[in-house]
Amino acid sequence: MTATPPSDQAASTPSLSEVTRVRTVHLQRAKAQGEKFAMLTSYDALTAAIFDGAGVDVLLVGDSAGNNVLGYETTLPVTLDQMIPLAAAVSRAAQRALVVVDLPFGSYEESPEQAVRSSVRIMKETGAHAVKIEAGAELCDHVAAVVRAGIPVMGHVGFTPQSEHALGGYRVQGKGDAAATLIADAQAVQAAGAFAVVLEMVSADAAAQVEDVLVIPTVGIGAGNSTTGQVLVWQDMLGLRTGRMPRFVKQYAQLSQTIGDAVGSYVTDVKSGRFPAEEHSFRG
């Protein structure tokens, strides 16, 4: 049998947009081929189906559900038991996207064994494809243990919301000499077997260095445009959440205004008797 020439092999490799079910290997291939990928948070079946159908490559069931779904001020109170039904709903709805689930605060830090137990629960009870762990060099053993258990891990370095108190609040990471620490953390997570790493709220220059030195793809959120992937919280991106937005958020819609106007019209119609009208009623 004649081997396929390298140029023909490259030509026959589908782009990420042509993949019918995104897997970790496709994200790695995207980086190798110079492609970008899009990632959004999702916490329910309806948004997951919409985002999946719109071409989002990765759906993150983030512990940001604490702020955006459960009404907490931070992500810290979120439990594994709260994450699991949200992740299961997203997994049931996603037909193409890779579904990644955050390990919430307190579900993995104690030991590599705890990290494995929590990750196994997510995989068995939700149907998700991977977990995400906020871990740098100091917790790379936890990442490695989960990977050894056969569970794909996405790392998360830079600003890590679960450590906001230790970091002194919402502060940009990786500036100046701190870039070396950021790079070392990302390299440690890669060495532990992670398939990708999120860089949150870090210097764009430092993020570019991390993307350059790593083999695995990076995913930016407030990390400039050099990363292979980008992620945003959907309520921020679509304007469902109002108020002051982080600098890195671009809003593509103002759903809060749209929904508020629609609900206001509904209330007016109900109180005036215009709804339900004849066409909304059954007879006979």
Q: Compute the C-alpha angle 201/111/28, nearest 5°.
A: 50
- Chain segment 112-127, per-residue pLDDT in tens: 999 999 999 999 999 9
The pLDDT, as a whole number, for residue 1 is 47
The mean-pLDDT minimum among 2-16, 74-88, 213-227 falls in 2-16
Gap between the Cα atoms of 70 and 13, Å rounded: 42
- Chain segment 30-61, per-residue pLDDT in tens: 999 999 999 999 999 999 999 999 999 999 99
Neighbouring residues of 10: CB distance < 8 A, sequence distance ≥ 6? none
Q: ω before 152 within 30° of 0 (cis)?
A: no
Alpha helices (runs of H) in the chain, residue ranges in sequence order: 6-12, 24-32, 45-53, 65-68, 80-93, 112-126, 140-148, 178-191, 204-213, 234-237, 255-272
Q: Compute the C-alpha angle 24/26/30, nearest 5°.
A: 120
Mean pLDDT across 218-233: 97
The closest alpha carbon to 61, from 40, 77, 80, belongs to 40
- Residue 83 half-sphere exposure toward CB, CA atoms < 13 A: 30
pTM, rounded to two decimals:
0.93
**Residue 163 — pLDDT band, cuts 50, 70, 90?**
low
- Chain segment 195-211, per-residue pLDDT in tens: 999 999 999 999 999 99
Q: Report helix, strand and coil shares of the chain as percent, to nearest 5.
A: 45, 15, 40
Candidates 200, 211, 278, 279; catalytic one? 200
Catalytic: 211?
A: no
